Amino acid sequence: MRYGHFDDQTREYVIETPETPLPWINYLGSESYFGLISNTAGGYSFYKDARLRRLTRYRYNNAPLDTGGRYIYLRDNDPVLASARTWSPTWMPTRTPLDFYECRHGMGYTTIRSRMAGIESQTRYFVPLGENLEIWELTLTNQRDQPADLSVFSAIEFNLWDAMDDATNFQRNYSIGQVEVVEDVIYHKTEYRERRDHFAYFACSEKLTGFDTQRDAFLGSYRGWDSPKVVEAGHSEDSIAHGWQPIGSHHVKVQLKVGEQKKIIFILGYHENPKDAKFDPPESQTINKRTVLPVISKYLNCDEVEKSFQALRVLWEGLLEKFQVSTPDVHTNRMVNIWNAYQTMITFNMSRSASYFESGIGRGMGFRDSTQDLLGFLHLIPERARERILDVAATQLETGGAYHQYQPLTKRGNNDVGSGFNDDPLWLVLAVTAYVRETGDWGILDEQVVYDNQPGSEKPLYDHLQRSLQYTLDRLGPHELPLIGRADWNDCLNLNCFSDTPGQSFQTTTNKEGKVAESVFIAGLFVLAAKEMAELSEKLEAKDKKQDRTYLLPPSEFYMGKAAKMESIIWQHGWDGDWFRRAYDDFSHVLGSKENDEGRIFIEPQGICVMADLGIEDGRAEKALNSVDEHLATPHGIVLQQPAFSKYYLHLGEISSYPPGYKENASIFCHTNPWIMIAETKLGHGDKAHDYYSRINPSVREKISDLHRCEPYVYVQTIAGRDAATHGEAKNSWLSGTAAWNYVAITQWILGIRPTYDGLRVAPVIPSAWKNFEVARMYRGVRYVVQVERKGLGNEVQLEVNGKPVKGNIIPMPAENTKEVRVRVTIT
Ligand code: GLC
Ligand code: GLC
């Protein structure tokens, strides 16, 4: 069953009923100001950091689930109609049945349209580029055959900035709320009197009939957002919040003639003042508004709003144009051209911080998460990718290890979680090498980057990469496999934790010294990263021998040697006969082997080891992938391991805490599926790779939305596995490495358009039924139009570049100032 449809022309998903199985959300903003918005206008906003600078309040796990947001109430002022006709044009929170409802989630904006008793309303929500504010543009049309006399009430609830404190510290917070209401603008200034120099404002383009800023004045003490007292009464209380719960609500009266249309603009924004010019007059406690008023008046103007909306459309058109494909499969096209690319931007911005499953409080930017997210995002805005690489690298430690997370606002490593996730640093190598291949920006390797944010510890970025690899080599266990530390990619494989105390964090509790438990996954990742370093070194050697590098370049054989050594260890201790093993626990017992009753085979090492080219020549890679197919594949995707853990194992940690079939305990943990897709392409299996691709493709799954339940336009982290009661049900949509990795798998390995240091490679491994496809891709400022035609069932490629045959599968770098290169590719 579907709840809407894709509109590929406008690049929107159109939701046709407010009652989706779960809130289906979108994101507003892509620079510093962000908002989450659901299909019924739920959600919240923040500046840069969902924990430390939250503008509006949102209570997670509420009932109904999605309560609190950017609400508008409409009311007929006619006393006869009034009692019957009070409604929310976005359905929530009043849930009054609407005559028509439609929500369009687009690239950085959401539009919700509805009709009720002849009044049509449309609310368009977005964040103008370069601004720290969001716009709600409400358009009302009177389709009645008589004039309409309406009241419009807006409503938001302010968060007292630190979302964690806001949700817990009531003895203080009930006393600190402060607002100003001046010339119809509501200013939220809690803590502005002391150490904050920022405030929020909520403005409206119309003359106000009234306003409210104290929550219980607006709602009434025993009412919720679904039935505010003020809306029922039809007039505001003009309340000024002193402590308690500051809100923002405007009341506007609107008279509409028959057929008349009117736009009303609301803006909610964040503003910082210079520390020494916070107040006006200076010795007062009144916010200095001179710096913000020009911004407010600019965006209360309809033409300006339209202009800034068009600018947002143009931005996204430009971004998405960087990679456009046309294949015989509509789901592939839609995801690659629109939604998957869009999701990589969202994961780039949010890491794992703020979604409807991530509270914005618990986690900031993850080291391994953000470095992987970059892989799918790099080509969209390389400059921002560069900045992110340098920020992440600055949270690396001198040992080569890394803070597992950092806060986006402060860019400082998070001490509560600390370090010791032994895979973390290796992902940095993959991100940086991918960045250089994409951009040709070799200079980034010379960038001086601190360790642990400590001034004076600056070293070239290249040194950071070297230490990343050395970190693994310095931590080898009894089998000479890498020690796992707190966990590797699988955050829940906690082999040193041994926690039997409720409430302890599986990730940070460590009861073992950590000198025994080893990870075959890290070993495979190490081989991949070491080969990347070897190739990088080789290219650097060849590039310019005389160039004064700021770092010492080891010969490329050095890293090849390290990779080869690790490979031989994997074959000795990490190969189980039919698949790669997963780990050795603290007793040096194997995991992910035929010797185990539960957890006999895991997906991660099969993916990563084959991606690192292990066993491709001698058939062992093929064996491993056949085992994946046989033991792990389901119609809904590939599960993480089998058999699922039926009980809690002290020595395995959080993985066995989940009921079978959920999360890391044998769900379809989607992040890992593209690794298998890539591995299948390495063996030339286009049908298999694309089949796996389609199983978790949200657009393909749209038709089972009642089972899948999450948004059909974005990837999720997890789909319940075959051991679960709800096999096929998705959770944790939006913020997952699944976005970046699927983008990489489909664009670089299945479609096979892959940046190398020397040019764009074209090596498609596509389904046998595809006769042709076409890609237009921007690469280092040049547009490549690649037309691929299948003439045989193999994966052999012949290139013709601008009409001339070219040997191999790399398109040579074109002459300077070339704008476009046309490539014909024949597959035989
Ligand atoms: C979550 C984490 C990610 C981890 C994965 C598997 O998605 O954000 O870092 O790799 O779970 O445990
Ligand atoms: C939980 C989740 C895992 C996530 C981790 C991060 O353990 O199962 O996916 O990576 O939390 O803290």
Q: Supply the pLDDT for residue 197.
A: 97
Query: Does the C-beta of 352 come closer than 6 Å to ligand 2?
Result: no
Ligand minimally distant from the alpha carbon of residue 717: 1
Ligand minimally distant from the alpha carbon of residue 505: 2
Q: Using the mean position of ligand 2's atoms as its centre, give its distance from the Cα of residue 665 in Å.
A: 11
Whether this prediction's pTM lies above 0.85 is answered by yes
Report which ligand 2 atom has the smallest distance to the Cα of 507.
12
**Residue 241 and residue 674: Cα distance in Å, rounded?**
52
Neighbour tally for 175: CB within 10 Å: 10
**Which residue shows structure tokens 């490549």?**
784
Query: Does the C-beta of 664 come closer than 6 Å to ligand 2?
Result: yes
Closest protein CA for atom 9 of ligand 1: 369
Q: Which of 404, 652, 664, 733 to mutate to test the pocket of ligand 2 (most atoms within 8 A of CB)?
A: 664
Alpha carbons within 13 A on the beta-carbon side of 115: 9
Query: Does the C-beta of 654 come closer than 6 Å to ligand 2?
Result: yes
**Residue 78 and residue 148: Cα distance in Å, rounded?**
9
Which residues are catalytically annotated? 491
Strands 100-106 and 109-116 come out as antiparallel
Report which ligand 1 atom has the smallest distance to the Cα of 664.
12
Neighbour tally for 373: CB within 10 Å: 32
Q: Which of 507, 604, 671 to mutate to test the pocket of ligand 2 (most atoms within 8 A of CB)?
A: 507
Q: Using the mean position of ligand 1's atoms as its centre, give its distance from the Cα of residue 576 in Å.
A: 25
Question: Which residues does the chain have with pLDDT short of 70?
Answer: 544-547
Report which ligand 1 atom has the smallest distance to the Cα of 491.
12
Token pair in block for residue 191: 């803590």
Report which ligand 2 atom has the smallest distance to the Cα of 718.
9
The strand ranges marked E within 348-496 are 365-366, 405-406, 448-449, 459-460
Closest protein CA for atom 9 of ligand 2: 491
Question: Of all helices (H) and strands (E), which one includes residue 52?
Answer: none
Q: Are 394 and 772 in contact (CB under 8 A)?
A: no
**Residue 787 and residue 799: Cα distance in Å, rounded?**
10
The DSSP output letter for 153 is E
Distance of CA 663 to the CA centre of its chain: 18
Report which ligand 2 atom has the smallest distance to the Cα of 654.
7
* Residue 489, CA distances (Å) to 425, 493, 634, 671, 764 in order: 11, 9, 22, 10, 28
Residue at 517: amino acid letter = A
**Residue 442 and residue 444: Cα distance in Å, rounded?**
5
> Angle, nearest 10°, between helix axes 461-473 and 520-543?
140
Name residues whose C-beta falls within 8 Å of residue 195's C-beta, 6 or more positions apart in sequence: none
**Residue 485 and residue 494: Cα distance in Å, rounded?**
8
210: β partners: 251
Query: Does the C-beta of 663 come closer than 6 Å to ligand 1?
Result: no
* Residue 155, CA distances (Å) to 114, 185, 228, 239, 253 in order: 18, 13, 10, 13, 15
Q: Supply the pLDDT for residue 544.
A: 66
From the list 269, 308, 198, the residue with the least C-alpha distance to 45 is 269
Q: Using the mean position of ligand 2's atoms as its centre, give its distance from the Cα of residue 387 in Å.
A: 26
Q: Using the mean position of ligand 1's atoms as its centre, give its distance from the Cα of residue 568 in Å.
A: 28
Q: Using the mean position of ligand 1's atoms as its centre, give its distance from the Cα of residue 765 in Å.
A: 28
Q: Which of 365, 373, 489 to mutate to test the pocket of ligand 1 (most atoms within 8 A of CB)?
A: 489
* Residue 374, CA distances (Å) to 248, 348, 533, 753 in order: 38, 7, 18, 17
**Which residue shows structure tokens 């600019």?**
298
